[in-house]
Structure formats: structure tokens, C-alpha cells
Amino acid sequence: MFCLVEIFVRKLVGIQHPIKIGQSFFPHNTFARSRGTRANITAMTRYSTHAFTSTSSSSYLSSQRQPAPLTRRKSCHPQRGLMNKFAADEVMEVETISIDGSAKPSEASPFPLLSNKQPLYTHVSPGVCDMHASDVTIRAAWVVLLRSQHASHRANAKRTKDMFHEEDESFLDRYHEWEAKYDDFLSRVESDSYQGGTLLNVVSEKEKLLREYGLPDLFRAVKAAENALCSDVLFQSLRDDVDNSEDSLKASIEIALAGNLFDAGAAQAVQNVVGGTAFKGDSNKFAFKNSEDLQFAFEASRRRVRNSEWLCDDLDKLRANEYDRVCVFCDNAGADVLGMTLLARELAKRTKGAKVALVANELAALNDVTINELEEFYEACEQHDRNCLRQYRENGKIVLLSSGQSSTLLNLNTTGKDVNDWVKFEDTVSRSDMEGGKLRWLVVLDGMGRSLESNWECGKYVQPHVDVLNLAMVKSEINANRLGANVYDCVCKLSNSR
């Protein structure tokens, strides 16, 4: 009998020439994505961006990146084209990832909405990781958290291998070699002699090491499965909840916070909220069997949001404002990016003439959504929401952009060309229609990595016409302790430099 989630995926569209993997079937190759062949694209393959395929034990992986089918602003988003990447390109990718989290350092520059006045922007969050470089006790606490993710890494490496790399016999061997190397690096980080920098530098080094071992996306399988489930039944159910709510903004924020629970870096937190019945096998995968189980788990998370304390509750302040332009930096794949998509939809509806950018990592990091995955996820959702999501994308009210990043944290000093060009264009050319007035901007920072572990005080570094919304659920003891919060507290913090 097939795994139920895979039956669900197969029912969406037909799969030809499958490969048998245990008790599951997957297509040999990622189909080329285009509007004319959309119906022939399998959901699992759509949600497997960088389609890495083993070629030999010495030549780690090869990938095929297809051009995005979504309309993108020509001045800001040159066509990605069809590129075949082999092992040599993996080495090139290792060289391009910077210690500050940039996937393309040659194209990185400061986010255009940052202020050039003192104090100048820093991504480091006071009270969370400001002492990382100088305090060995604080570094040791972070190393405990990072090592606690090993079990999730192992489980998801096995699942990704089984789903996408069955013939790559060295895949798990390379994983174990990487884990040993990474563990050695963490031992150096927690030592007195460590001469490194911030938490962002540590997690960036992890991503560089993964690529050295030909493991660019350990969580590819779980992201593919959850994106497939979330873009169908759960999207339609939650969209209807928002549309039928007396307070659609509140409903959207609650859904966004509930979605942020589902984080591969905090698998135990997920398990504690939704319970073991919603999981298949190893809880570190938090792999849901079908859409009903995922819906059950999401409702449990929503109840937790409603019943938890809110460390910061600026929902009323947010409701009192209208924004002309919004930039949403997304966090995790699956339920989290579903929440961000519905929030973008709501913010695009609230203000006449508003435009919203959903922004995702250029390259994979943990289970964070990438730009390719975001494009494919949005395309699947809009099939069920032609009057809003489809229309908004076609008329430019919602755009999908790469952040140029490859980290679970966010450094706004090194954002990429896609998002920076769009922001510059909208903040200069578009405001010419406002008789010299300033557009009102909202920057949404989703999740612990982008809004708690980095950018906790981002509001004081932006220009006066910009508000910053930190939106996250606290899912780890180390973040809770240093913020004076409890695990599962919610953060909806609106700030600015005015």
C-alpha cells in the first residue's frame, strides 16, 4: 500500500514512468515547468526545486533548475533560464555562499529601506545573540540547541535519500561524514579559543559544509510533501476562514503564527503541541500522513496561538495602518509559507493600490522555503483562488522575489538583486504618482531566525516611512529565556524609527 501522502500527490496529476522507492513511486525527472504543460507536472516534482540527481559516488549530485512560469518584472528579474548543474557547479556554489548568509555575494547590497543615519543597521539581536562572539557560556548554549537538531537532520536525510536519491549509494555516507565534520566545528565554537563571529556566521558555515559534501537540501522531501498538502485542502480551508472572519487581519495573523510552529529546527516543539498521532514514524520528520492529519495539527497550533501569552501584541497598531508596499521575508516551507501567502493576500486586499512582495531564500537552509519552492507553491495555491492570488500576481499586486540569502537568519546588509531592485523601483518610480509623497512601507520578518535571532530591533534602523513587523512563535528555551518569554509565546511586534 502506498504511503497516504504519496497517494494524495499522485491523485493531483498523473505520473508516468515512475521509479519504485520502497512502497512509493516518483517520476524519473523533474518535468519542465511551463503554462502549457502545467497539468502534467506532478506535485511532488513541482515542490522539489533544485532537482538534484545522483550521477556517481564521486560526482555528488546534479541539478536542473527550470525557468519559473510566473510573470516577473523584467527590469528586476532576468529570466533564470534552463541550467544544468553538475558537481563542478556545486563547488562553485560553495565558493559563492558567504559567511554572512549571502547566496550571491557579488550581487549583494544593503536593503534599500535601511536608514543611512546612526545607529547603522546590524542584524544582531540584543538579548538574543549579541554576546555570541564574546561569551563562551552563550555560545555553549547555542551549540546545545544546534546539536539537538541532529536527530531531525538524520531522519530527513534518510527520507530525502529514499524519495529523491535512491540510486545514490553514498548519500547517507556523505551525510554521516558531514555530521562528524559539523560536530567538530560546533566543538570549536563552544571552546574558549573560538575566534568566530555571530550566530549568523555559525549557521552560514553549516550551509557551506553541507554543500562541500554534496548535500544542498537535506529537507527537500519533507518540504515537498508538506507544500503539496498545504497548497490544496488546507489552503482552501484557511482561505475560507479568513474570508468569512469578522476580523480578517486578525485571522490572517493567527494563521501566520500557527504556521510558524512547523519548523524542522524545533521538531520537539511541534511534537509537544500536536501530539504523536499526527506523525508517521520518526517524529523528527514531522511528516504528516495526509491532509486530514495536517489539518488536525494546524488546528492544534491555532488553539495554542489563541491560548498562549503574546510577548508582543501590536495587532491593533497594525490594524490602524494602511501600507502601500509590503515586503514579506518568508521562513519555513509548508504551513508557514501558507500563512505568509494568506497574509500577503490579506495585505494586498486591505489598501487600494497596495503591492506585496513575498520574498524567499535563493538557496536551501534547513526547511526554509526557497524562491523556486515559493513560486511553485504559489502557483498551486492560485489554482484554487483565481479571483485573488491569480489576479494579484497577474496585475503585479503580489510578486515573488529572491532574498539572495542562503541562511535561516537574515542579514539586511546583504540582500540580493531581485528584492533590492524591486524595492528601489517601487520606492522611487512608483511614488512619483503621489505628488512627491512617501509610500508607506511594511517589512514583515517571519519566524525565529529572521525576527528573533536576528533583527529583533530592526525597526530603529529603517527609514521613517517604513514599519517593521516581527512575527513569530517562540519555539526554543534559549530564545524564550533571553527574551523573558515562555516557549509558545507569540510575537507580533510593530516598530519603526519615527
Residue 187, phi then psi, degrees to nearest 5: -65, -40
Residue 193, phi then psi, degrees to nearest 5: -90, 0
pLDDT given for residue 263 in this prediction: 77
CA dist 153 and 12 (Å) reads 29
| 314, 492 Cβ separation under 8 angstroms | yes
Give residue for cell 512502497: 23
pLDDT given for residue 150 in this prediction: 94
b/e 429-464 (16+ beta carbons within 10 angstroms → b): eebeeeeeeebbbbbbbbbbbbbbbbbbbbbebbbe
* Mean pLDDT lowest among 89-103, 177-191, 441-455: 89-103
Q: Given CA atoms 226, 228, 234, 240 in this order, what sign does their dihedral have?
A: positive
pLDDT tier, 273 (very low <50, low <70, confident <90, very high otherwise): confident
CA dist 105 and 100 (Å) reads 9
Q: What is the mean pLDDT of residues 230-249?
A: 96
pLDDT given for residue 309 in this prediction: 87
| 372, 68 Cβ separation under 8 angstroms | yes
Q: Is the pTM of this model over 0.85?
A: no
Coil, strand, or helix at residue 19?
A: strand
| 325, 462 Cβ separation under 8 angstroms | no
Q: Which residues pair with 22 in a beta bridge?
A: none
Q: Over 70: is that where the pLDDT of 74 sits?
A: no
pLDDT given for residue 120 in this prediction: 95
pLDDT given for residue 268 in this prediction: 67
pLDDT given for residue 284 in this prediction: 47
The C-alpha cell that represents 233 in the structure block: 485542502
pLDDT given for residue 257 in this prediction: 97
Q: How many helices (H) and strands (E) does the chain have?
A: 19, 12
pLDDT given for residue 403 in this prediction: 98
Query: Where on the phi/psi map is residue 334: left (φ > 0), alpha (ψ -120 to 50), or beta?
Result: left
CA dist 188 and 177 (Å) reads 17
The C-alpha cell that represents 82 in the structure block: 534552463
pLDDT given for residue 132 in this prediction: 80
CA dist 498 and 495 (Å) reads 9
Q: Over 60: is that where the pLDDT of 84 sits?
A: no
Q: Given CA atoms 232, 235, 238, 241 in this order, what sign does their dihedral have?
A: negative
pLDDT given for residue 264 in this prediction: 65
Model confidence pLDDT, tens digit, residues 125-151: 887 777 787 889 989 999 999 999 999
Residue 228, phi then psi, degrees to nearest 5: -60, -45
Q: Over 90: is that where the pLDDT of 274 sits?
A: no
Q: What is the mean pLDDT of residues 36-56?
A: 33
Model confidence pLDDT, tens digit, residues 90-129: 333 444 789 889 999 999 999 999 999 999 999 998 877 7
Identify residue 112 by its one-letter amino acid code.
Answer: P
Residue with the larger pLDDT of the pair 399 and 128: 399
Nearest one of 80, 123, 111 to 421, comparing CA atoms: 111
Q: What is the mean pLDDT of residues 446-471?
A: 97
Strands (DSSP E) found in 392-432: 398-402
Contacts with 318 (C-beta within 8 Å, 6 or more apart), sequence order: 249, 253, 469, 492, 494
pLDDT given for residue 381 in this prediction: 98
Q: What is the mean pLDDT of residues 231-252?
A: 96
pLDDT given for residue 25 in this prediction: 26
Contacts with 320 (C-beta within 8 Å, 6 or more apart), sequence order: none
Nearest one of 61, 67, 93 to 82, comparing CA atoms: 67
Model confidence pLDDT, tens digit, residues 188-224: 999 998 987 899 999 999 999 999 999 999 999 999 9
Average pLDDT, rounded, for the chain? 80
pLDDT tier, 233 (very low <50, low <70, confident <90, very high otherwise): confident
Model confidence pLDDT, tens digit, residues 342-373: 999 999 999 999 999 999 999 999 999 999 99
Strands (DSSP E) found in 12-77: 18-21, 24-27, 53-54, 61-65
Give the distance, in angstroms, between the CA of residue 353 and the centroid of all CA atoms in the same chain: 27
Residue with the larger pLDDT of the pair 367 and 272: 367
Contacts with 232 (C-beta within 8 Å, 6 or more apart), sequence order: 8, 12, 291, 380, 384
pLDDT tier, 297 (very low <50, low <70, confident <90, very high otherwise): confident
* Mean pLDDT lowest among 254-268, 313-327, 342-356: 254-268
Give residue for cell 516557549: 487
pLDDT given for residue 295 in this prediction: 86
CA dist 220 and 127 (Å) reads 33
Q: What is the mean pLDDT of residues 35-57?
A: 32
Nearest one of 451, 408, 438 to 314, comparing CA atoms: 451
Residue with the larger pLDDT of the pair 426 and 127: 426
pLDDT given for residue 267 in this prediction: 64
The neighbour count for residue 405, using CB atoms within 10 Å, is 34
Contacts with 118 (C-beta within 8 Å, 6 or more apart), sequence order: none
DSSP β-ladder status, 83-85 and 466-473: unpaired
Q: What is the mean pLDDT of residues 364-384?
A: 97
* Mean pLDDT lowest among 94-98, 194-198, 245-249, 289-293: 94-98
* Percent of the chain's residues with pLDDT above 90: 64
pLDDT given for residue 262 in this prediction: 84
Q: Helix 199-212 to helix 136-147 angle, to the nearest 10 degrees?
A: 40
CA dist 19 and 168 (Å) reads 14
DSSP 439: P
CA dist 160 and 220 (Å) reads 6
* Mean pLDDT lowest among 66-75, 205-214, 225-234, 272-281: 66-75
pLDDT given for residue 89 in this prediction: 34
CA dist 224 and 434 (Å) reads 43
Residue 192, phi then psi, degrees to nearest 5: -65, -25
pLDDT tier, 464 (very low <50, low <70, confident <90, very high otherwise): very high
Q: What is the mean pLDDT of residues 173-196?
A: 94
Coil, strand, or helix at residue 321?
A: coil
pLDDT given for residue 414 in this prediction: 96
